[in-house]
Amino acid sequence: MPHPDSQQELGPTLSGQERTHPTGIGPKARRKVIIASFIGNFVEWFDYGAYSYLAVVIAVVFFPSDNLTDGLVWTFALFAVSFLARPIGGFIWGHIGDRVGRRTALAWSILIMSASTVCIGLLPGASQIGIWAPALLLVFRLMQGFSASGEYAGASAYLVEYAPEGKRGIYAAVVPGSTAAGLLFGSLMATVLTANLSDADMESWGWRLPFLLAAPLGLIGVYIRRKLEDSPVFQEMAQEDEVIEAPVWSLFRDHWRALVRATAAVLLNAVGFYVILTYMPTYLSQTVGLDPTLANVTTTVSLVTYIGFIFLTGYLSDRFGRRKILMSASVLFILFTVPAFMLLGTGSIVVILLVQILLGAMLTLNDGSLASFLAENFPTKVRYTGFAVSFNVGNAVFGGTAPAIATLLIATTGSSIAPGWYLMGAAVIALIAVALSPETSHKPLKD
């Protein structure tokens, strides 16, 4: 098959309509893809982030205990266990995305996420139904994890395949950008709720509001995505009957080296994302002793700057290459993570805010480049599967467990900077993996 980038114009789509290669796609079509990817991913991660930002309240509602730390450990342990569904989801969504189409996988993933999130918002607490409350919470969290496993990978592959030549990095940066925007909205809601409601109201009904908001947001996301066409390169494969029967088998048989490198490269992103962007409010309030509202405020402000840095990083990765940017992120985390956590312990609101912005900026060097890096490391026939499996295995093993491990490390070592050492270790592994990977930013997408 000729490489997609050598095609000037492609034939009819599966629906009989005309389609063109990304070089011939108009600005309007690209805007629709960007908006759909942004909104869908925003909804998914707003739903997903709400659990982390309201962890203290959820611990009280579902894991009542005389010791709040015990409740938090159980809350974050359940957060980690829900990630067991992500590798499974990665295989399933990857198969659907590479076998049936990117659009189909993305439409279903957001529908499942929204439904499971609404169910969490309607779930009675432990004081009402006892052990069934945490048990059902686990079921719905597993559904969330299963859904999220297809979202990030699918949206990234979709955008990369639609992007103009030389702009795959900044297009793919829409995915982590929308993720941060969803977390920002979740953080804003948590801040407003904790600042205006009493503890009793928060534990009774206030914590439920972000979860219930998933219903209208999810319906909007599903509607928008169903209006899109599949990516031109996928349609070309389907047109020429070159879609493979078993993308998972092909991935492990023919591309296992790329899969191992990609999974290791994900580690810094997995640990950094969940420690810096979702666990941080809990760390600041429970370990540093910062007022919970102020902890949410500093996280919200840092997320605003994070979104801006994300797109800058995507642009830089197009200009200088994925490897240089990703390796720079790892080096910075190795050098500055532990000192940064020491500064957080000062308790100064100004210092805490500046450190959070700094850590966020360092993470964007990784986060803003990783999506395009992973998508470009796999050929079109297994791109969704390769991305989904590597990203979700790394996140399941190291990302979902990060809040629980951080909490346990602090409890067992008595050191408030223990999460910094954990994050530093992840950076070392990611640095080695990226250093061993090829540079793909200026090469055509692989066939």
C-alpha to C-alpha distance for 355 and 184, rounded to whole angstroms? 17
Rounded alpha-carbon distances, angstroms, from residue 31 to 15, 24, 35, 37, 384: 21, 14, 6, 10, 21
Tokens 């010791």 belong to residue: 67
Region 140-159 average pLDDT? 88
Domain edges within the chain: 20-435
Alpha-carbon Rg of the chain, whole angstroms?
A: 21
C-alpha to C-alpha distance for 163 and 123, rounded to whole angstroms? 42
Q: What pLDDT shows up at residue 5?
A: 36
Rounded alpha-carbon distances, angstroms, from residue 293 to 49, 107, 303, 326: 17, 35, 15, 33
CB 381 within 8 A of CB 244: yes
Q: Where is average pLDDT lowest: 12-16, 56-60, 144-148, 251-255?
A: 12-16
Q: What pLDDT shows up at residue 64?
A: 82
Q: What pLDDT shows up at residue 362?
A: 95
Q: What pLDDT shows up at residue 446?
A: 60
What is the residue-averaged pLDDT of the chain? 84
- Of the chain, the percentage scoring pLDDT greater than 90 comes to 36
Instruction: Say what the pTM is.
Output: 0.81
CATH architecture of 20-435: Up-down Bundle (1.20)
Tokens 């389609």 belong to residue: 19
Report pLDDT digits (tens) over 217-229.
778 777 777 777 7
Give residue 184's pLDDT band: very low, low, confident or very high (50, 70, 90): confident
Q: What pLDDT shows up at residue 2?
A: 38
Region 329-336 average pLDDT? 96
pLDDT > 90? residue 335: yes
Q: What pLDDT shows up at residue 13?
A: 34
- Indicate left, alpha or beta for 130 from its phi (over 0: left) and psi (-120 to 50: alpha): left
Report pLDDT digits (tens) over 236-294.
887 877 788 889 999 999 999 999 999 999 999 999 988 888 788 888 888 888 888 88
Give residue 60's pLDDT band: very low, low, confident or very high (50, 70, 90): confident
Q: What pLDDT shows up at residue 102?
A: 87
Lookup: tokens for 232:
């031109």
Give residue 67's pLDDT band: very low, low, confident or very high (50, 70, 90): low
Give residue 14's pLDDT band: very low, low, confident or very high (50, 70, 90): very low
C-alpha to C-alpha distance for 50 and 251, rounded to whole angstroms? 34
Give residue 330's pLDDT band: very low, low, confident or very high (50, 70, 90): very high
Using the 8-state DSSP alphabet, how is residue 18 labeled? Answer: B
pLDDT > 50? residue 7: no
Enclosing H/E stretch for 93: helix 85-99
Q: How far is CA 299 from the centre of its chain?
A: 17
